[in-house]
Amino acid sequence: MTVLQQKPSRIDASYLIQFPSFLEFQRPQKDQDLPQLKETDETQTPEEAIEAAYQSVRQGLATELLQTIQSCSPTFFEGLVVDLLIKMGYGGTRKDAGQAIGRSGDGGIDGIIKEDRLGLDIVYIQAKRWDGTVGRPDIQKFAGALQGQRARKGVFITTSSFSEEAKSYVSYIDSKIVLIDGDTLAHLMIDYNIGVTTVGTYEIKRVDTDYFTEDG
């Protein structure tokens, strides 16, 4: 007989207890059904635990940086690359670097930048906001463009990744080409404070045993 056929004047726990489904609902969950907390590594020192937490936060920030870069325009990305390279010691002044990048567009070259403030050598740049893996043909095209300019050094920067064939290719060609993938780019931005800001710092201290050394 259904509940509607019985037409009870009141439906409460004492009434519903006659139904097996209600009893199953009230039954406590088994331990295996409950969410399990991640066990901590008891062998870790407090310093190691802090370092692990820091690396986790850092990786999360790197992922967020890449997602933010993907929403920016190609022109903004080129400017970001300039800012990073200048912070790393390349390009001379921001004005010089800004004028150099994005002007060439010659056979796979997006721009040029001075290797040092004196301009003793030139580094050619390819900066691409790509989603797919950058393969060997893309690097070959860039290397060919360097040869056309009689250039020896180049940097290929992408927001994605490089195939194993692309990495292998740059290891045996005459031109020196540095590959910077998305993860490396994001961590360099963190290291050189490009597009990030500090929200807190924590000092780890130890006992200074020299202070407590008493002279005989």
Q: What pLDDT, on a 0 to 100 scale, did the predictor assign at position 149?
A: 82
Q: How confident is the model at residue 208 (pLDDT cuts 50, 70, 90)?
A: very high
Per-residue tokens: 99:
């004028």
pLDDT digits (tens, 9 = 90+) for 122-156: 888 988 888 889 999 999 999 998 888 888 899 99
Bridge-based pairing state of the strands 122-128 and 111-114: antiparallel
Which residue do the tokens 């692990």 mark?
A: 52
Please give the helix or strand (H or E) that residue 200 lies within, else none: none
Q: Nearest-5° angle of CA 103, CA 94, CA 134? A: 50
Read off the amino acid at residue 85: L
Q: Sign of dihedral through CA atoms 7, 9, 12, 16?
A: negative
Tokens 């020196």, residue?
176
| DSSP structural state of residue 18 | T
pLDDT in tens, 59-118: 999 999 999 999 998 888 888 988 898 888 887 777 777 666 655 555 667 888 888 777
Share of residues in the chain with pLDDT > 70 (%): 75
| Whole-number Å distance between alpha carbons of 1 and 19 | 11
Higher pLDDT, 215 or 124: 124
**Is this structure's pTM higher than 0.85?**
no
Place of tokens 């062998």: 43
The closest of 135, 203, 141 to 175, measured between CA atoms, is 141
pLDDT at 32: 46
Mean pLDDT of all residues belonging to the chain: 80
Fold of 46-191: Trna Endonuclease; Chain: A, domain 1 (3.40.1350)
Q: How far apart are CA 43 and CA 168, in angstroms?
A: 39
- What are the strands of the beta sheet with 153-158, ordered from one edge? 111-114, 122-128, 153-158, 176-180
Distance of CA 109 to the CA centre of its chain: 25
Beta bridge partners of residue 122, listed in sequence order: 114
Bridging pattern class, strands 176-180 and 153-158: parallel
The ranges assigned to domains in the chain are 46-191
